[in-house]
Amino acid sequence: MASLAEKRVVDAEEPSVDPQARPEELRLLEALLFASTEPLDQAALAKKMPDGVDIKVALAQLQADYASRGVNLVRVANKWTFRTAGDLAWLMTRESTETRRLSRAAIEMLAIIAYHQPVTRAEIEDIRGVITSKGTLDVLLETGWIRPRGRRKTPGRPLTFGTTEAFLSQFSLEALGDLPGLEELKGTGLLDSRLPGGFSVPTPSDDPTLREDEDPLEIGDLELALAPAVEPETGEGS
Amino acid sequence: MASLAEKRVVDAEEPSVDPQARPEELRLLEALLFASTEPLDQAALAKKMPDGVDIKVALAQLQADYASRGVNLVRVANKWTFRTAGDLAWLMTRESTETRRLSRAAIEMLAIIAYHQPVTRAEIEDIRGVITSKGTLDVLLETGWIRPRGRRKTPGRPLTFGTTEAFLSQFSLEALGDLPGLEELKGTGLLDSRLPGGFSVPTPSDDPTLREDEDPLEIGDLELALAPAVEPETGEGS
Amino acid sequence: MSAEILSFETGRPAELAADDEPSLVVDVEGYEGPLDLLLALARQQKVDLHKISILALADQYLVFIEAARKIRLELAADYLVMAAWLAYLKSRLLLPEPATPDGPSAEEMATALANRLRRLEAIREAANRLMNRPQLQRDIFPRGDPESIAEIKHPKFTATLFDLLTAYAAQRQQRVLATVHLARRTVWSLSEARASLERLVGMAEDWSRLDEYLLNYVVDPSQKATVFASSFAAALELVREGEVELHQKEAFAPLYFRKRPPQASDAITAPDLPVE
């Protein structure tokens, strides 16, 4: 292994080399096209070839050589270059996970969806007393912890949101009913015990059965709402 | 990965394809290695392969496939990459790239660091019998081929130097053991400790694990020693 | 061994001293220190470094240094140190070894020097071979136009149940506490007060207490202030218009009022005060 390049030279000198070896110009073309920082045109390649080489024939042969390989010789704007085979484009991705903390707004919204589901965006805003940005909702959808579950039978037919199974597993809840209720929240000190009498915390339920005031989602609703969270592996499919 | 299997089936069904077609994993390896800016290690490649592929066998076959071509599959620093064939150097004169010309002193120093690492500046000077100018060390650090790796546990705690992966890549070395003439040098005992000057390191090693007589670098050491900007061209082969 | 060295040594210094060896005399600058110079001189012995005569080498070096000094070349100190050391080594090599040697023997010193030279030569050879290897971007090239690898980042969100509950409780609570039902402030306007007073004045022929009247009138104690203020202001207005008379015994004492009698102008001086 001392020297790969030396090895190569030695190999070439050995008599064992196939007399039917590929024409040298194919090696030259290969090397030139591989190392070039940009596609090369025929004239530029021809200049580097030994005399008497039919560059067209050589390029055609090289193209055929690589046709079935993972790398193809392609012609772009009349210039030649090696490119990853089209069907392998999916390989040219690198995946990484980055840990992201949810913003406070997103956590608040998530909490309201969890307790008040099925709930529309307008209802969430009403509870929070703040307009929610579209971005916050998108981030929440990206987490996979919430999902649009239907449409409210009111003017405008707004989407209703609920939590998913991923939500339960993220927060280690066996069921949504395990979310603490009013008395428990008071007991842990999270809620002030002197809250006015009318104050209540709903008993949350993520029962997927639509409520009476809900219509089912329509085709396209899911796509719309879940657009950002497409997994690449499933995306490259074919 | 489902798509891969599908592809293969489709390919196999096409009448034009040689029934003795190359295994798909060779196409994948080709594509990955052609596209990458950096040499890739076996683990990184294996991650992208379908299950059940013997990556070693596949790489060996790919290397054989390309051995006689103008582009070879080589292993540097234990990673795989395509490089133009060594015997085509004459063809590859590239006007834009000006080869770095190292001074004689810098070349000697580089060799001493390579063969004697980890080694301190004083030890280098002992071998060369002359004080090295700071400039020479700076030039070498700028190449990105050497790096300070620790501090010798001796009075004054001098920095110890070793070579980098970029060094292996630059000289097409799979590992430090492939340094030319290393065996002979070891045979002469000239790398041995019995020599005046007190070399305690019979075999060079770029293993980043510190030796017993080395302390780790401190915060600031690297900055200090590596302050000069590393030129991308001399680096990893970008 | 020393005999061999001596025999080998003969003739070499003279040869070196000759002026027709320009490379030796002038080119001190070309050497990278005394060891480099010694190695160059050693090569002139045209023998393997294993068989080099250190004695001859010492002579060569000393001759070189002498020659350099004759033409007044500035020599770095380490060249002179080496010269001194070699002169010492030479004398040690020529003299018989003392019976009880302290420190290394002359032979050992010579061997050590030879080894240093061998080591320098070996590393130079290695450097040569290293630099002659096919080098990246000089002889062999990586892909010139690597294809970009698309980075797909999968976000992994973090949030705890505690975060969730805290957020929920905090915002529900905050909403409740923040919802201040701003009850419409019931203010008794001046005109309201005046209208009421005017109606009242018709009834009160005799002195009446304003605050008594107010207390009767006001149901909600929180309205007391506004009713009081507005009525007082309205009463003053009615006094100014001559409709009503006001009387107060002292500061903060109860205020009395009555409808102004027809000939009230003379009564002002001696009003018949109401009985407490």
Query: Per-residue pLDDT averaged across C13-18, rounded?
Result: 36
Query: What pLDDT, on a 0 to 100 scale, did the predictor assign at position C237?
Result: 84
pLDDT tens-digit map of B81-114 = 999 998 888 888 654 455 567 888 999 999 999 9
Q: Which of A49-63, C62-76, C128-142, C218-232 has the lowest mean pLDDT?
A: C218-232
Query: What pLDDT, on a 0 to 100 scale, did the predictor assign at position A73?
Result: 94
Look at residue A230 and tell me whether its pLDDT is greater than 60: no
Look at residue C115 and tell me whether its pLDDT is greater than 50: yes
Backbone angles phi, psi at B149, to 5 degrees: -115, -15
Q: Where are the alpha helices (DSSP H) in chain C?
A: 2-9, 12-17, 22-25, 34-44, 54-70, 77-94, 106-131, 161-178, 190-203, 210-217, 224-240
Query: Per-residue pLDDT averaged across A34-42, rounded?
Result: 90
Q: Which of A8-12, A194-198, C223-227, C244-248 has the lowest mean pLDDT?
A: A8-12
What Cα–Cα distance (Å) separates residue A92 from each residue in A20, A53, A72, A88?
A: 35, 35, 15, 7
User: Counting one residue from B and one from C, how many pairs have CB atoms under 8 Å apart?
Assistant: 134
List of residues 6+ apart from B151 with CB closer than 8 A = B157, B158, B159, B160, B214, B215, B216, B217, B218, B221
Angle between helices B104-116 and C106-131 (to 10 degrees): 100
Tell me whether residues A27 and B69 touch, CB distance under 8 A: yes
Q: Which of A22-26, B112-116, C151-155 has the lowest mean pLDDT?
A: C151-155
* B170 CA: distance to closest CA in chain C (Å): 5
Distance, in Å, from the CA atom of A195 to the CA atom of A205, rounded to the nearest integer, reads 24
Look at residue C94 and tell me whether its pLDDT is greater than 60: yes
Q: Is the pLDDT higher at B140 or at B183?
A: B140
pLDDT tens-digit map of B20-61 = 568 889 999 999 999 888 899 999 899 888 888 999 999 999
pLDDT tens-digit map of B112-158 = 999 998 999 999 998 998 888 888 999 999 999 999 999 999 999 99
Q: Which helix (H) or strand (E) holds C258?
A: strand C255-259
User: Which of A170, A173, A200 is the mutation pick for testing C, counting most C CBs within 10 A?
Assistant: A170
B58 touches chain C (CB under 8 A): no
B195 touches chain C (CB under 8 A): yes
- b/e map C16-52, b = 16+ CB within 10 Å: bbeeeeeebbeebeebbbbbbbbbbbbebbeeebeeb
Q: Decide: helix, strand or coil at residue B134.
A: helix
Distance, in Å, from the CA atom of A131 to the CA atom of A128, rounded to the nearest integer, reads 8
Tokens of B54: 């013997």
Query: What pLDDT, on a 0 to 100 scale, did the predictor assign at position A46?
Result: 92
Query: What pLDDT, on a 0 to 100 scale, did the predictor assign at position B134?
Result: 82
Token match 């991923």: residue?
A166
Asked if A121 and A131 count as a contact pair (C-beta separation under 8 A), the reply is: no
Tokens of A37: 């920082």
pLDDT tens-digit map of A164-221 = 998 988 888 888 888 888 888 888 878 877 777 777 888 888 888 888 888 888 776 6
Tell me whether residues A31 and B7 touch, CB distance under 8 A: no
CA angle A126, A127, A130 (to 5 degrees): 60
Query: What pLDDT, on a 0 to 100 scale, did the predictor assign at position B151?
Result: 92
Query: What pLDDT, on a 0 to 100 scale, did the predictor assign at position A169?
Result: 87
Distance, in Å, from the CA atom of C51 to the CA atom of C48, rounded to the nearest integer, reads 6
C134 touches chain B (CB under 8 A): yes
User: Which of A110, A146, A200 is the mutation pick for testing C, counting most C CBs within 10 A?
Assistant: A110
Confidence of residue A61 (pLDDT cuts 50, 70, 90): very high
Percent pLDDT > 70 in chain C is: 71
Look at residue A120 and tell me whether its pLDDT is greater than 80: yes
**Cross-sheet strand order for the sheet of B159-163:** B119-120, B159-163, B146-152, B214-215
Asked if A165 and A146 count as a contact pair (C-beta separation under 8 A), the reply is: no
Confidence of residue B222 (pLDDT cuts 50, 70, 90): low
What are the chain C neighbours of B102 within 8 Å (beta carbons)? 131
Distance, in Å, from the CA atom of C167 to the CA atom of A108, rounded to the nearest integer, reads 5
Look at residue A14 and tell me whether its pLDDT is greater than 60: no
